[in-house]
Structure 1
Amino acid sequence: MKSLLWLFISLAWFSSFAQTGTTDSQQSIVDHASTDKHEKVVLLIRSAEFYRVNKDYTKAITSSRESIALAAGINNFTEAAQAYLVLLNSRISAQELGQIKQLSDTLLLTAKKAGTPLAMAYAYYGQALVFKTLDHPESVMEYCQMALTALGKNPAPYIAAKIYYQLYAIHSNWNNGDKAYYYAHLAMEYASNTNDYNLLSNCYNAMSTAHDYSYEMHHEQTALDSSLYYLNKSEQLYTRHPGQVSNYAYAISCINLASYYLRFGTPSGNKAQSQGIYYANRARTVLKDAPNSQEVIASSLGILSEYAKRDGKPADVEHYLLEAYQVMQTQQPPYYYTMINVTKGLANFYENQGNYQRAFQFQQLVNEYSSKSFDQQKALKSQQLEIEYQTEKANNEVRFLKEREKSQQQKNWLYICVTIVSFLFLLFLFRSYHFRLRYSIQRAKQLELEKLDAALQLKLEKEEQARLKAEQQLMELQQQQLKKEVMANVLQLEHKNQVLYNLKDKLIEGNEVNMQKVLKEELILDDDFELAKLQIQQVHADFFPQLNEKAQRKLTLLDLKLCTYLYLQMDTRQIAQLMHVEAKSVRMSRYRIKQKLGLEKDQDLHVFLQSLKENANGTRSAD
């Protein structure tokens, strides 16, 4: 019978969460025309989950479909995803596995259409339920973790509690006590933040089971006390929150309490036994008219038979076991695992009583139910294989599509890269052409500037040469002027020296010298000489060079002086006065100069000297 007891402890692990129980008044609100559509969707989802937990799967499926249609009609895809999750869970609970793969895929598509973290958490949790049905715990864990990741750092308490409860159930089946306690505790914390007391009841039962594991490992009384503590908390929710805990969830808590007192109460402990019998009967009473509750009722009868066996009441043992067998026969389809345990208990009972005929009959039933259970398991396995095949086929199609999409993406990236490279190459060509064009323009401008600069430089050089030539000419004129001034001054000095020599000779000879007369004459001569000096400075620059060039014999300074006076058109008297000589001497000097110049006797010296002036003017005009 121990296996029978543990069967219904496990029922608490695998029963799914229920939201706040629906009532007839809630149904009337749903049916009322003025009720907001969003509120109707919420109430229909609650109703569907309430029916599912109470194993009224037909109503659960109907309410789920209504909520899906209504939520889709108002484009509320997050609540539509939640409704799909309830429908999927209802199909799984009813063992209608043919459509669960299609439902899970539809749930995932609806969640993606919603695009919210909560909707994606519903979808991943639905995938986890499918793989739990297929007995793939690793995949269940993977999708539960994906659901938690989708929820983020601040998950919605209700779905978070459901996810952690599934993780607890996996580690509980693996007998991993530490992990089972860790996830059960997280599930309980999140469930405490909701108004779903069915959910909280299941989490309390999970915490009790986790402490049972701890007790089996360490045999510490504190673990056993904690197990009972959480069972009591689960049972007390039914009375503290009336109408908000389903009868089925409450019956599970009662069965677990009865099992606890049966397992850990001493045979002589009347209080523990009375508590165990009370909770076993309480579970039967609560589920008396509930649909699909045969397993829980049979479990309570099994616990009562164990207590009767302890008390040495074989008649009561037989009565409870036969009643359990009759209850299980009313279940359609029967749950063969429980039927096998009940018939095996009856076979053992009759064998112990020596009634081998009855023991043989029930042993035959054990074999029959074992065979039917095997066939049922084969049929279920066939369904699971079909779902796995569909899942694998869908996954292969998805992988193929992903690979094709990846290949297409790679092609697209290649095309994009080729386009970018081509564009960059064209841009390079354009930039290169533009650069060469700009360089050519800049080069042409630079050449033009260099040309202008060269022209300007040439102009400047010409101007500089002209300036230098002008300066040179000016310097030559200045030099010639200085020469003329020097010549005039030399002539004046020679005249002064001649006067001084004449005075000296007269003084030496003892002749009288009238100084007043000499000074007066000199003053007059000085005035004449100043005029002559100005005239000498006006003689053109080429006069003396041309004169020397024409002369056949070298002209002396005195000859040049006389030619200058003649050129200035001074008469013989003026020249004689300036030179302090006799007029006769002047005429003799003129004759001598004509000879040096190679002039004929009939040629006039004045005319010849003036011709030099005209030649000089002609030369300057040509320059």
Structure 2
Amino acid sequence: MMATNRYMLQFRLILLLLLPFFSWGQDRIIDSLEVLLQDETLTDRERIIPLSQLALYYKNDASKAIAMGQQSIDLAQKQRDRQYEIYAYSQMGMIYALYGDVPKSYEYLTYIQNAIKNSKEKDALAFGYNNMGVIKLLLGDQEGLEDVYTSLSLVAKTDYKLLALNYSILSNYYLSDVDSAEKYSQLAVANALKSHDYHTLCYAYSVRGVRYLAEFEKTRKPELLDLALMALEKAAAVYNQHPGYVRNSAYINIVTNLLYVYQFKYEHQPDPNYLQAVDRYTKQILELPMESNEDYVINHYMIRIKSAMIRSDLKAAEALFLELIPVVSLYPKQFRNKYELHRQLALIYEENGNFQEAAHYFKAANTYYQQFYDDKYTKTGQQQNAKFELAKKEIEFQENQYLMLIGLGAVLIVLIFLIVFVVQFTKQKKEEVLLYAKIKEEEAKNLEIAKINAELHAQLQTEETQRLQKEVLAKNIQVSHKNEILLHLKQDLQSDIPIDTQQLNKILKNENLLDKKFEEFERIIQQTHPEFYSRLQEQAQQKLTALDLKYCVYIFMQMPSKEMADLLHVELKTIRMNKYRLKRKLRLDKAEKLEEFIQNIV
């Protein structure tokens, strides 16, 4: 009997490795997700994750689960956001892995890998690699362990939920390695506590309990049962304290392992308290509603069978086996469970001395064992074929990429030649345009210079003409003055009045000084005020005579009126009269002074 129980313990531990991964929550979470999806204001992007989660929750209804998963994938593809694609593909791949559909599972593994290659979001990558690892391990592909380690290397240090899940997977995988199982189960519980996620914490405590049960199987140390009991009861407490947040299937797994602990403790030391604990947990399970999930049904029956066997009630155990076997026979797969159930019943018949029935069920067990291994090898072949197809597609993809790179290289070379040609041609044309523009600019400059030279030449001619005219005018004034002097001398000579030699010398001396002074002043006027004469003519109402201009020059020279009268040999009143007439010719107001006007005319 003891051998039978021990074998059943190992069978239960194997189930625990796989089942809790997918029991993320219970009715409250499902209800909240369904309410969320009914919200019409929810965007397509916001619907992706709830749809994917519900698809996994509804895995017992294949058509509904796949439809919701595909809807999530369609929305994720429309978003063109790789992290959402990773999530949607991961959940769909998980569903197919739970159904045991190897080709479909590996098909979605390919989709996950492609999405991961094109994503840079570390959180999404960590989630994707975790799910790839779980999918592969579900299908018996040990390469999934490498993906779990990759997920650990990428996951954020504050993503306690994903850290706890990765460590739980590693703890389950390394159950035969006590040190590794201890390390990883401790890390799983520590991170689960920080996550504040009830299911993650419940699962981590369960993993911790299984780790001690596995070591007990090897060493038979009674203290390990106490440690296992402590961890499993903590898991049960989380379930009971937070109803609706941990799935019933997860609690059934916890109770299954609790019964094994009490079985061994009772065998070591028969204590009625142990039987009471077994009855209490069994009663809790019986009060749970039955679900359609195959594993749930099997585990539900196995708890009742285990409870009967602990009490050595083989009749009750036999009846439960006979009740469960027809139910399980309807399941298309479950070869391992069918084998175990028939073998356990055969051992009961053998122990009771009913060898005929024992032989019948041993034979049936062998048949299912063969089917189990055939199915296992078939799945292994499918795995290898799927991996081969993946590798083939990867090679084809790389070859296509290589060809595409060659094509791109050729196009790039042509483009480079075209670009070089266009650049050179453009450069040449630009240089020609610049050269033509420069020639035009030089021509324009030459034309401008020629125009300026012509204008300067004309200006010089005009200025020279004006200068000569002014010089002639000044000479005329000087000649006119000389003629007046000569006229006065001639009149004096013709008169009978005797000539005063001294007076004559004085006149000649004054004229000589005046000539020098006039010539010097004329030179100064020509150099400093070449526009003097022209401005006087412009101001005059009628053309000024040579005598008028002479008066203007004398006034500009600031010559006093008396000196002017002596020089011109006229009376002072004549000078005043001529000044008055000149003032009127220059159109000056009565208040304006002639002297000031002439001084300021230049």
TM-score of the alignment, normalized to the shorter chain, above 0.5: yes
Cα–Cα, structure 1 residues 278 and 394, in superposed 2: closer, same or farther, change >3 Å? Answer: farther
Q: Name the structure 1 match of 2:357.
A: 358
Q: Deviation per CA, 1:286-328, whole angstroms, max 9, x where unpaired?
A: 252342223212321331342242xxx4422322222232342
Counting only pairs closer than 5 Å after superposition, residues 82-481 of structure 1 correspond to structure 2 as 82-133=87-138, 135-137=140-142, 139-151=143-155, 154=157, 156-172=159-175, 175-215=176-216, 222-266=223-267, 268-286=270-288, 288-292=290-294, 293-309=296-312, 313-330=313-330, 332-397=331-396
SS at match of 2:381: helix
* Aligned residues: CA RMSD: 3.4
Counting only pairs closer than 5 Å after superposition, residues 36-47 of structure 1 correspond to structure 2 as 36-47=43-54
Deviation at 1:136, TM superposition (A): 4.0
**What is the CA–CA distance in structure 2 between the aligned matches of 1:130 and 1:238, rounded to whole Å?**
26
**What is the CA–CA distance in structure 1 between the aligned matches of 2:95 and 2:291, rounded to whole Å?**
21
**Matching residue's letter, 1:128:** G
Deviation at 1:92, TM superposition (A): 0.4
Q: Deviation per CA, 1:37-61, whole angstroms, max 9, x where unpaired?
A: 4443332233233334xx4444333
**What is the CA–CA distance in structure 1 between the aligned matches of 2:226 and 2:237, rounded to whole Å?**
16
Q: Deviation per CA, 1:333-369, whole angstroms, max 9, x where unpaired?
A: 2412122222122222222323233223222222322
Cα–Cα, structure 1 residues 194 and 99, in superposed 2: closer, same or farther, change >3 Å? Answer: same
Deviation at 1:118, TM superposition (A): 1.4
**Matching residue's letter, 2:278:** G
**What is the CA–CA distance in structure 2 between the aligned matches of 1:397 and 1:335, rounded to whole Å?**
37
**What is the CA–CA distance in structure 2 between the aligned matches of 1:375 and 1:294, rounded to whole Å?**
24
Cα–Cα, structure 1 residues 239 and 28, in superposed 2: closer, same or farther, change >3 Å? Answer: same
Q: Deviation per CA, 1:410-442, whole angstroms, max 9, x where unpaired?
A: x99xx9xxx9xxxxxxxxxxxxxxxxxxxxxxx
**What is the CA–CA distance in structure 1 between the aligned matches of 2:132 and 2:291, rounded to whole Å?**
34
Cα–Cα, structure 1 residues 373 and 222, in superposed 2: closer, same or farther, change >3 Å? Answer: closer
**What is the CA–CA distance in structure 2 between the aligned matches of 1:314 and 1:254, rounded to whole Å?**
20
Q: Name the structure 1 match of 2:497.
A: none
Mapped pair 1:59 → 2:64:
yes
Cα–Cα, structure 1 residues 250 and 59, in superposed 2: closer, same or farther, change >3 Å? Answer: farther
Q: Does the aligned pair in 2 maintain the 1:13–1:202 contact within 8 Å?
A: no
Q: Name the structure 1 match of 2:35.
A: 28
**What is the CA–CA distance in structure 2 between the aligned matches of 1:23 and 1:226, rounded to whole Å?**
34
**Matching residue's letter, 1:69:** D
Deviation at 1:245, TM superposition (A): 0.7
**Matching residue's letter, 1:322:** L
Cα–Cα, structure 1 residues 254 and 119, in superposed 2: closer, same or farther, change >3 Å? Answer: same
Name structure 1 gaps, 5 residues minimum: 420-623
Q: Does the aligned pair in 1 maintain the 2:291–2:297 contact within 8 Å?
A: no
Instruction: Decide which structure has the larger Cα Rg and report it.
Output: 1
What TM-score, normalized to structure 1?
A: 0.59
What TM-score, normalized to structure 2?
A: 0.60
Deviation at 1:400, TM superposition (A): 5.8
Q: Deviation per CA, 1:429-484, whole angstroms, max 9, x where unpaired?
A: xxxxxxxxxxxxxxxxxxxxxxxxxxxxxxxxxxxxxxxxxxxxxxxxxxxxxxxx
Deviation at 1:100, TM superposition (A): 1.6
Cα–Cα, structure 1 residues 76 and 393, in superposed 2: closer, same or farther, change >3 Å? Answer: closer
Cα–Cα, structure 1 residues 136 and 318, in superposed 2: closer, same or farther, change >3 Å? Answer: closer
Cα–Cα, structure 1 residues 51 and 182, in superposed 2: closer, same or farther, change >3 Å? Answer: farther
Q: Does the aligned pair in 1 maintain the 2:290–2:297 contact within 8 Å?
A: no
Deviation at 1:403, TM superposition (A): 8.2
Q: Name the structure 1 match of 2:422.
A: none
Q: Does the aligned pair in 2 maintain the 1:14–1:169 contact within 8 Å?
A: no
Deviation at 1:143, TM superposition (A): 1.9
Deviation at 1:217, TM superposition (A): 6.3
Cα–Cα, structure 1 residues 285 and 404, in superposed 2: closer, same or farther, change >3 Å? Answer: farther
Q: Does the aligned pair in 2 maintain the 1:305–1:317 contact within 8 Å?
A: yes
Deviation at 1:210, TM superposition (A): 2.1
Cα–Cα, structure 1 residues 398 and 186, in superposed 2: closer, same or farther, change >3 Å? Answer: farther
Q: Name the structure 2 match of 1:78.
A: 83
Counting only pairs closer than 5 Å after superposition, residues 542-581 of structure 1 correspond to structure 2 as none
**What is the CA–CA distance in structure 1 between the aligned matches of 2:179 and 2:339, rounded to whole Å?**
33
Q: Does the aligned pair in 1 maintain the 2:55–2:69 contact within 8 Å?
A: yes
Deviation at 1:122, TM superposition (A): 2.6
Deviation at 1:160, TM superposition (A): 2.5
**What is the CA–CA distance in structure 1 between the aligned matches of 2:281 and 2:141, rounded to whole Å?**
35
SS at match of 1:193: helix
